[in-house]
Amino acid sequence: MMRGRGVVNRIGAWLAALLLGVLASGLAGAAAQAEDGYDLWLRHAPLDPARAEAAREVLGPVELRGDGSGTAGTARGEIERGLAGMLGADRGNRSITLALTQDLTEGERWLAAELAGAPPGSFVIAADPNAGTIVAARDDTGLLYGAFALLRHVAGDRPLPEVARTYRPGMPLRLLNHWDNPDGHVERGYAGRSIFDWWHLPERLDPRMIDYARANASIGINGAVVNNVNARAFMLEPRYIAKLKRLADAWRPYGIRVYLSARFSAPRDIGGLETADPLDPAVRAWWHAKADEIYAAIPDFGGLLVKANSEGQPGPQDYGRTHADGANMLAEALGTRGTVIWRAFVYSAEDETDRAKQAYEEFVPLDGRFADNVIVQVKNGPIDFQPREPFHPMFGAMPNTKLMLETQITKEYLGFASHLAFLAPMWTEVLDADTGRGGTVAEVVAPAGMAGVANTGSDRNWSGSHFDQANWYAFGRLAWDPSLSSEDIAREWAALTFSREEAFLAAVVPMMLSSRETVARYMTPMGLAHLMDTGHHYGPGPWVCDLPRPEWNPCYYHRADAGGIGFDRTATGSNALEQYAPGVAAAWADPAEIDERYLLWFHHLPWDYPAQSGRPLWDELVARYDRGVAEADAMAQTWSELSPYVDPQRHRAVAESLAIQRREARWWRDASLAYWQSLNGLDLPPGTRAPEHDLDYYRSLVFPEAPGR
C-alpha cells in the first residue's frame, strides 16, 4: 500500500477517530449458529451494538456516480451486502460515494491528482465531515477494490490508523495457478475435486464461480490460470474456448482475467502438424491463428502459462531450441494482447551435479533475450516448495528479464490440508530477502507479479481445512502489498473469519505465525529437504533411494551415511553457493556462522559436529524434532481453549485436524529418527523418547488412497 499524504492532510484526524470508535470493542461470544466455512473471510458478521452505533455515525447509503452496470455496479452491491451484514437495515445519514475520477466534482478534483500515474486498480478512500466517505478510482476495478477495502477496515480486528489514503497494487499480475485437470482431478489438491465443471460448461455456470471471483477480488487477485501446468492440448480446441469464454464473461465484473496453461506440442497434438519446432513457419502460423481465435472470443484473455522441458513435458529443447525461442514464438502470436508466462521449474535426470542449480544454468544465460510480453515464473526456492528453502538464485541474476515469483498455496509438502501451517512467514522471508544484486526479491518481481498454486477445491470450506483459507487470503494480500507483515495479515484474517475478540486474537495469531516453523521442525529440521515418501508426497520417506531418476530420491538430498548428513553446496561440493551474489553466499558458506535453519541445505557435516547450541549435531537435530512435536501439541491445546469464540461446527473441524497433525508430527519424528539411527548407530540423547515402532514398520506403510497424486 502506498500512502497518499495529501489525502491524510486534507481529511484531518476525524475519520481515524471515528474508526477507532468503530473498531474499539470486540464481538462478544461465539457465533449463535454453526458455520461451514463457505463464506471465507467475507462473512460480514454483525458488529456488536457499540461498534455498530459508531459505524452508523460514519457510514450511510451508498451512491454510485455514472453507469451502475458492470464492475462499478458490483462494487456498489458489495458495499451494500457487507454493511447489511454488519449493521443491518438501520444505517446512518452520511453517504458512501463511489466515483471514477472523471465523475468527481470540482471540490473533489484533488483526489484525481492523488491517483495521477497510479497503476490500474489503485483507489483512494477519503472523507468529508459533512459529505461522507468517498471511494475514488481511475477504473472500475479500483472502485471494486476500494469497496472491499472499506468493508475490511470496518470489519477488521483493530483500527488501521490511515484508512484514508491512496492504495496502489505492488505488482501488476496477482494470479492463482490452478493445477486442475479437465476430468475434475486436482494435482496436489487436498480440498476435494476441482471447482471447474468443464463437463457442463458453457451451458451451465456453477454459481460457485461467482463466489470464487468475489473472494479473489476482495484480496486483489486479478487473474486465474484455470488448468494444470501439465496441460492437455485439447483445452485449446474451439469447444474449450467456448467454455473459457463463459468463465471470462462471469469473472469480468470482478476484475478477474482468464489465463490458460498451454501444451507446447499442441500444433502437433491437435493441429495436424508434424512438428512443434518454435522456429518452423507453419508452427508459428498455427499459434498466431489459435491466438486470434481465442481473442475473438475473449478480448481480455490474459495469456498463456507454459511448463516446458521439465518432468517429461514437451518444449523447445526437443528441437534444439532455447526457452527464449519457445517463449518468444508464443509472445509473437499473442502480441500486445496478452502475456506469456514461462515457468523456470526445470530439471532432468541428465544433470548429474545438483538439481538446485539447473534452472539458473538454463535461464540466466538467456537474460535479455526474452520478448517484452514474456515473464519467467520462478519458484520461491531452487528445489520445489519445500518447508524451508533459501530464495531462488535467479532472483536478481536476470536484470533484463521480467521475473515472477511462484509460491505454492496448496501444502504439497507441509502436511496437505490436515496440518496447520500459515505460509505468510515463508513468503515474506522470500519477498524480503536481499538478493545482493541491488534489491530484495519483492523489488525484483515488482514489474511482473506473483503467482500462487491454488488450494481451492469442491469441499464446502473451499480449502480442505478452515485454517488453509488463511493461505489463500495471505497470498492475495501480499501480492497486492508485499510490505505487509505476516502478523497484520494473520490478525486481519482471523478477525474476519472467526472472532474479533482480542482474547481470541492474542492466542490464535502467535499460533499462526509460528506454525510453519513448527512443521519444518518435525518434518525437515535444520535445512533438510525432500524427505517425503514417493508419489503422493505424504509422510516421511527418507529411506527412499531406488527411484529411477536420482533427483526423485530423498537420499539424493540428505546424503546421510555413517559419517554425517546434509548436502554440500559449498566450493567443496556442488558449489551451488556460487550462483548467489558474493555477500549472500558468504552468509551461508561457514557452518559455524550460518543461520542453522539452512545448515544442512548447504553443508554435509559429521554427526558430532558442534551446533551453535554447543550440542553435537545429532543431539541438536533430535531436539528440534522434539520441539516441533511439542509445538504441535501446544497448538491443539491452545485451540481447545478457544471454543467460546468460535461456532461449534468449525471449532470441532479444526480440533479434528489438529489431532491428525499431532499424530503425524510424531510419525514424522519417529520414522526419521529411526532411519537416521540405522545409518549412524548412535543412541538417542539421555531422556529422549524412543520411536514408537521400528524402522521396518515405518517403511512398510503404504497409502494408495492419498489425495493429490
Q: What CATH code is carried by the domain that includes residue 616?
A: 3.90.1330.10
Are 85 and 135 in the same domain? yes
Give how far Cα 585 sits from Cα of 281, 437, 455, 579, Å. Answer: 45, 12, 34, 8
Cβ-contact 260, 226 below 8 angstroms: yes
Three-state DSSP class for residue 96: strand
- Going through 478-565 in order, the beta strands assigned E by DSSP cover 564-565
Are 192 and 246 in the same domain? yes
- Return the closest-CA partner of residue 507 out of 603, 613, 644, 388: 644
Are 477 and 384 in the same domain? yes
- Cα-based angle 230, 234, 235 (whole degrees, multiple of 5): 70
Three-state DSSP class for residue 459: coil
Q: Is residue 581 part of a domain?
A: no
Choice among 325, 412, 459, 517 that is catalytic: 412
Q: Is residue 284 part of a domain?
A: no
C-alpha cell at 69: 452496470
Q: Is residue 320 part of a domain?
A: no
Distance separating alpha carbons of residues 36 and 469, to the nearest angstrom: 12
Q: Is residue 472 part of a domain?
A: yes
Choice among 67, 311, 595, 641 that is catalytic: 311
Task: Give the residues across from 180 on adjacent strands.
Answer: 186
Are 437 and 534 in the same domain? no
Distance separating alpha carbons of residues 436 and 433, to the nearest angstrom: 9
Cβ-contact 622, 691 below 8 angstroms: no
CATH number, domain of 86, equals: 3.30.379.10
Supply the pLDDT for residue 161: 38
Distance separating alpha carbons of residues 256 and 223, to the nearest angstrom: 5
Q: Is 203 a catalytic residue?
A: no
Distance separating alpha carbons of residues 210 and 458, to the nearest angstrom: 14
Are 120 and 251 in the same domain? no
Supply the pLDDT for residue 691: 98
| Residue after which a domain boundary falls, among 167, 195, 224 | 167
Supply the pLDDT for residue 128: 72
Cβ-Cβ contacts under 8 Å for 128 (sequence gap 6 or more)? 11, 134
Are 389 and 529 in the same domain? no
User: φ and ψ at 388, to 5 degrees?
Assistant: -145, 130
| Residue after which a domain boundary falls, among 142, 167, 192 | 167
Q: Is residue 137 part of a domain?
A: yes
Q: Is residue 529 part of a domain?
A: yes
- DSSP string covering 547-607: -SSGGGSHHHHH---SSEES---STTTT-GGGGS-HHHHHHHH-TTTS-GGGHHHH--EET
- Return the closest-CA partner of residue 449 out of 489, 471, 474, 476: 476
Are 145 and 222 in the same domain? no
Supply the pLDDT for residue 66: 85
Across the 709 residues of the chain, what is the mean pLDDT of every consecutive 10-residue run? Answer: 39 36 35 79 93 83 89 96 91 88 92 95 86 92 97 68 81 98 97 98 98 98 98 98 98 98 98 98 98 98 98 96 98 98 87 88 98 98 97 98 98 98 98 97 98 98 98 98 98 96 97 98 98 96 94 96 98 98 98 98 98 98 98 98 98 98 98 98 98 98 91
C-alpha cell at 319: 528441437
Supply the pLDDT for residue 11: 36
Q: Is residue 440 part of a domain?
A: yes
User: φ and ψ at 698, to 5 degrees?
Assistant: -65, -35
Are 407 and 528 in the same domain? no
Q: Is residue 598 part of a domain?
A: no
The residue segments making up the domain with residue 647 are 522-567+604-700
Are 421 and 450 in the same domain? yes
Distance separating alpha carbons of residues 220 and 55, to the nearest angstrom: 25
Choice among 180, 384, 517, 626 that is catalytic: 384
User: Amino acid identity of 196?
Assistant: F
Are 150 and 34 in the same domain? yes
Three-state DSSP class for residue 214: helix
Are 112 and 43 in the same domain? yes
Q: Is 384 a catalytic residue?
A: yes
Q: Number of folded domains in the chain? A: 3
Cβ-Cβ contacts under 8 Å for 381 (sequence gap 6 or more)? 389, 390, 391, 392, 430
User: Amino acid identity of 669?
Assistant: R
User: Amino acid identity of 560?
Assistant: A
Task: Give the residues across from 63 on adjacent strands.
Answer: 97
Q: Is 36 a catalytic residue?
A: no
pTM of the model: 0.95
Are 162 and 251 in the same domain? no
CATH number, domain of 490, equals: 3.20.20.80
